[in-house]
Amino acid sequence: MGKRTILVVDDEPKLVEVIRAYLECDGYRVVSAGDGREALESFRKDRPDLVVLDLMLPEIDGIEVCRRLRRDSDVPIIMLTARAEEVDELLGLELGADDYVTKPFSPRALLARVRSVLRRTAQETKDDEATLSLGPLRINPARHEAAWEEAPLALTPTEFRLLLALAKRPGRVFDRLELLERIQGEAYAGYERTVDAHVKNLRKKLAGAGGTTAASSVATVPGIGYKLEASRA
């Protein structure tokens, strides 16, 4: 098996070189881009296994790059952001990013995230589980497909993992850190709120397929977390 390719997109050359050094030392092949347009071209040419994507980019910003990548691919995306506002961090996740890192960050911490996301993705590729059927909800883990009453759900990889985790144990209450562990491979204190963004998006897509009944099947348990209502699914 050849080296996995990581596309690093940032307009700070020194930062790119630091990230490159850490990733290459860990055995990855690294390609880079300094703006959004170049990032899209590199993605089409190099077909990376994971993208590290800065939010603020010239030409085409990171939000639009993420949106375009998600339109055609399930490639894992880790967003980099210098903005402290949570709304910006969550926006990247709502667009389909799998994780985010706030600048300044430790290159070792980013490397740990890359390893975690790729390890989780590799395991999902190996898994060949039977289709889950919970009332109107159908989930095929092997094909990464989900539907509500035969209406397909266009879920991002992270949303799919979230729904699958809940569906495997209907009625069980998961706290946010548990769900982070299941959808990201590791749980990071302070990142629990990202689960709320994924749940919000998941409910929107369920509502689009099956109305309020579908959306409310992912229930909030105040002060704890979330569960899948077996009686509604």
Tell me, what's the pLDDT at 47? Answer: 94
Q: Using CA atoms, how far apart are residues 190 and 183, in angstroms rounded to an integer?
A: 16
Tell me, what's the pLDDT at 1? Answer: 52
In eight-state DSSP terms, residue 87 is H
pLDDT per residue over 98-156, tens digit each? 888 888 899 999 999 999 888 877 766 555 467 888 889 999 988 888 999 989 999 98
Q: Where are the alpha helices (DSSP H) in the chain?
A: 13-25, 36-46, 62-72, 86-94, 107-126, 157-168, 176-184, 193-215
- Check whether domain 129-228 has CATH 1.10.10.10, yes or no: yes
pLDDT per residue over 14-68, tens digit each? 999 999 999 999 999 999 999 999 999 999 999 999 999 999 999 999 989 998 9
Tell me, what's the pLDDT at 119? Answer: 84
pTM: 0.65
Q: Where are the domains of the chain?
A: 5-125, 129-228
Taking alpha carbons only, the member of 126, 108, 202 closest to residue 163 is: 202
Task: Please state the CATH superfamily assignment of the domain spanning residues 5-125 in this structure.
Answer: Response regulator (3.40.50.2300)
